[in-house]
Amino acid sequence: MGLLGGLGADKYDRQYDDGYLIQRLATYFKPFKRRFSIIVVLVIVFASIGAVNPVIISSGVEALRDQNPDGTLQLILSGLLVFGVADFFVYLLRRRLTTRMIADVIAQLRKDTFNAAIERDLAFYDDNKSGKIVSRITNDTQELSQVLTISTDLVGQMTEFLIVFLVLITREWRLTLVLLGMMPLVFGLTLLFRKFARTATRQGSRSLAAVNDNIQESVTGISVAKNFRQEAMIYDEFDTVNRQSYTINLRRGFVLAMVFPALNALAGIVIGTLLYIGATFVIGRAIDIGSWYLFILGVDRFWFPVINLSSYWSQIQQGFSAVERIFALVDTENVLQQTDNKVPDEPMRGAIEFDDVVFEYKNGERVLDHFDLTIQPGESIAFVGHTGAGKSTIAKALTRFYEFQGGTIRVDGQDIRTLNLQAYRGRLGIVPQQPFLFSGTVMDNIRYARPDATDAEIREIAHSVGNGEWLETLPDGLQSDVGERGGRLSMGQRQLVSLLRVLVQKPTIFILDEATASIDPFTETQIQEALDLILSQSTSILIAHRLSTVRSADRIIVLANGKIIEQGNHDQLMAQGGHYAELYNTYFRHQSLSYIENAREMFAEAGD
């Protein structure tokens, strides 16, 4: 629970002081003012009942000694019954209300954190692992909920402590001081143990992590181990780390195992002392026997709150850091800012204009350098170039996933910085390099960008590619479950679904960051068919890795260092024998027929 995850601070983390955190958290409780005040009353009532119990019993003992004058005993007995029953009902009510309030607060906080996470721009996720963000939304809020529950209990116990203290000090202040004097000792002892325990725990978690890493690796690579029959070897390795973790975690357990015995021994000493001093007071007629008994009973009431406070101390601190992490995520500002909120003109034509665009990474490295380009509506452009030439950056800037630093990008003459992002992106059909599918059916995924599309429409589009032959390999056709992140589909099928998603959407502008993964030749043929369909409908930006894609574009643009160095169609550029020809030789030659036909001769001499 945040123990292993929260080790290193993230870049966007901020320091808030505890006062501010409490204040801000308090705003979440505002809607529950009434509930909150009732809970406060109930906590006090519950604490009072707890505190009154020893007082009643000790008075009962006193009354007994006096042989029950004027029915005090009856009163005390009925008091015990009433409070005993009330205790249960007050607890019940308090617990019900607290559970609801905390659950509601946490739900709201979760929603706010999720909203914040979904609003962050993509640059944020480049710097921060998504797993850690997820943990803030789910685990940190969970931790906070536990701390809030513990806190109500602690507040109750503290109140009880306070009431008992007030009763005791009015009876006999010197005895109270004896009792009170022990408290720092208890508190200090518990904290000391926690300090030892923390070191031991850190070592324990580390060795456990080593075991888990070992298992994760061998389970992931189990097929290799089996193919080579090396199970015994990896078992021995596991055995070593498993034993090591046992030894280290045992040591940690021993440290923790000492806490309660030590506290019990201390409690024994305190009770013995009070018994003796109390007796001298009774003999000296300073207190009556009931009070003497009350002090001894009071030890428990003093003991538990202090032990609890000190043992939950670190958890409360962790709660604070959890809240801090949550608010840090909520408060992070996006780098990307829109200047206006205009809805793009309908129908969009898809004319794109890059005007003196400058795009730099955070470290100042310039990827697009005063880049100018005009794309006609319906035109398809393939961008080629070496890695780092700025191909993907064009898509990053155009989709507004990332902020550019200079110049203007206009779509149909409108500055894309002034547009409503959701409305604008709704007109873009984007296929990322790693196609991402959501768990659900193939049909759900194809429909993703246009939830109102009918089943018939989806079916038609799915069958427009290769006569829907690709669906035959799926167990339930369009209704097949794609699994988590599309894991049950092959890479090629995922790409195909991604493309169909765009076909359903009928975007004005199509942006394809082509995957580099290799795909079986049959599926690839179908992908090509889907692609052709989209190209005929939209203005297209193709970041191309396949020869066939490059060749299907109206215009090929060769990029180097963020500038256009050549453009034209395939044949023209090949004829020039310049940069494109060199790129062709580097990236595309092996995809050509001549390569395929000559492969055997080329490598006939290979392998001695």
- What x-and-dash track marks residues 232-261 binding another protein by CB under 8 A? xxxx--xx--xx-xx--xx--xx-xxx-xx
**CA contacts within 13 A on the Cβ side of 393:** 26
First and final CA of the chain: distance in angstroms? 57
Output the smallest distance, CB 211 to another protein, in A: 7
Output 163 or 471, the one with its CB closest to another protein.
Answer: 471
C-alpha span between 103 and 366 (Å, rounded): 48
Output 256 or 376, the one with its CB closest to another protein.
Answer: 256
Q: Is the dihedral of CA 49, 50, 53, 54 positive or negative?
A: negative
Output 345 or 520, the one with its CB closest to another protein.
Answer: 520
Q: Does 225 bind another protein (CB under 8 A)?
A: yes
Q: Which of residues 402-421 bind another protein (CB under 8 A)?
A: 421
Q: Does 158 bind another protein (CB under 8 A)?
A: no
Tell which one of 177, 192, 438, 460 touches another protein (CB under 8 A).
438
* Candidate ranges 102-110, 180-188, 454-462, 558-566; the one touching another protein (CB under 8 A): 102-110
C-beta of residue 448 within 8 angstroms of C-beta of residue 501:
yes
Pairing mode of beta strands 366-375, 352-360: antiparallel
Q: Does 80 bind another protein (CB under 8 A)?
A: yes
C-alpha span between 513 and 392 (Å, rounded): 7
Return the SS3 of 341.
Answer: coil
Rounded to the nearest 10°, the torsion over CA 290, 296, 297, 298 is 110
Return the SS3 of 570.
Answer: helix
Give me the amino acid identity at 447: R
Output the smallest distance, CB 166 to another protein, in A: 22
Output the smallest distance, CB 18 to another protein, in A: 26
Q: Which two tokens stand for residue 551?
A: 């060749």
Q: Does 528 bind another protein (CB under 8 A)?
A: yes
Output 19 or 604, the one with its CB closest to another protein.
Answer: 604
Q: Which of residues 561-590 bind another protein (CB under 8 A)?
A: 574-575, 577, 581, 584-590
Tell which one of 371, 383, 448, 510 touches another protein (CB under 8 A).
448
C-alpha span between 179 and 175 (Å, rounded): 6
Output 406 or 565, the one with its CB closest to another protein.
Answer: 565
* Candidate ranges 117-125, 170-178, 183-191, 322-330; the one touching another protein (CB under 8 A): 117-125
Instruction: Put residue 432 in one of left, alpha, beta given phi > 0 → left and psi -120 to 50 → alpha.
Output: beta
The partner residues of 103 in beta bridges, in order of sequence, read none
C-beta of residue 245 within 8 angstroms of C-beta of residue 211:
yes
Q: Does 66 bind another protein (CB under 8 A)?
A: no
Output 34 or 597, the one with its CB closest to another protein.
Answer: 597
Tell which one of 42, 47, 117, 465 touches another protein (CB under 8 A).
117
* Candidate ranges 136-144, 162-170, 326-334, 368-376; the one touching another protein (CB under 8 A): 136-144
DSSP state of 479: G
* Candidate ranges 86-94, 308-316, 322-330, 553-561; the one touching another protein (CB under 8 A): 86-94
DSSP state of 590: G
Torsions phi, psi for 503 (to 5 deg): -60, -40
Q: Is the dihedral of CA 459, 461, 464, 468 positive or negative?
A: negative
3-state secondary structure string across 49-82: HHHHHHHHHHHHHHHHHCCCHHHHHHHHHHHHHH
* Candidate ranges 185-193, 280-288, 351-359, 377-385; the one touching another protein (CB under 8 A): 280-288
* Candidate ranges 13-21, 173-181, 194-202, 482-490; the one touching another protein (CB under 8 A): 482-490
Output the smallest distance, CB 368 to another protein, in A: 20
Return the SS3 of 499.
Answer: helix
* Candidate ranges 89-97, 157-165, 178-186, 374-382; the one touching another protein (CB under 8 A): 89-97
Tell which one of 39, 47, 116, 133 touches another protein (CB under 8 A).
133
Output the smallest distance, CB 162 to another protein, in A: 20
User: Minimal CA–CA distance to 168: which of 54, 264, 86?
Assistant: 54
C-alpha span between 525 and 558 (Å, rounded): 25
Q: How distant is the alpha carbon of residue 337 from its chain centre?
A: 24
Q: Which of residues 332-351 bind another protein (CB under 8 A)?
A: none
C-alpha span between 14 and 8 (Å, rounded): 13
In sequence order, the 6+-apart residues with CB closer than 8 A to the CB of 185 are 266
- The H helix count followed by the E strand count for the chain is 21, 10
Rounded to the nearest 10°, the torsion over CA 317, 323, 327, 330 is 150
C-alpha span between 41 and 341 (Å, rounded): 49
Q: How distant is the alpha carbon of residue 213 from its chain centre?
A: 21
Q: Does 464 bind another protein (CB under 8 A)?
A: no
Q: Does 77 bind another protein (CB under 8 A)?
A: yes
Output the smallest distance, CB 238 to another protein, in A: 6
Q: Does 443 bind another protein (CB under 8 A)?
A: no
Output the smallest distance, CB 202 to another protein, in A: 16
* Candidate ranges 307-315, 367-375, 452-460, 598-606; the one touching another protein (CB under 8 A): 598-606
Output 110 or 325, the one with its CB closest to another protein.
Answer: 110
Output 374 or 576, the one with its CB closest to another protein.
Answer: 576
Tell which one of 428, 465, 543, 558 touches another protein (CB under 8 A).
428
Tell which one of 180, 183, 517, 564 touches another protein (CB under 8 A).
517
Q: Does 600 bind another protein (CB under 8 A)?
A: yes
Tell which one of 15, 363, 422, 454 touches another protein (CB under 8 A).
422
Q: Which of residues 307-326 bind another protein (CB under 8 A)?
A: none
C-beta of residue 306 within 8 angstroms of C-beta of residue 215:
no
Q: Which of residues 22-61 bind another protein (CB under 8 A)?
A: 53, 57, 60-61
* Candidate ranges 9-17, 287-295, 316-324, 354-362; the one touching another protein (CB under 8 A): 287-295
Q: Number of residues in contact with another protein, rule: CB under 8 A?
A: 177
Q: Which of residues 191-220 bind another protein (CB under 8 A)?
A: 211-213, 215-220
Output 77 or 162, the one with its CB closest to another protein.
Answer: 77
DSSP string for 368-419: EEEEEEEE-TT-EEEEE-STTSSHHHHHHHHTTSS---EEEEEETTEEGGGB
DSSP run (H or E) holding 267: helix 259-283
Q: Does 373 bind another protein (CB under 8 A)?
A: no
Q: Does 223 bind another protein (CB under 8 A)?
A: yes
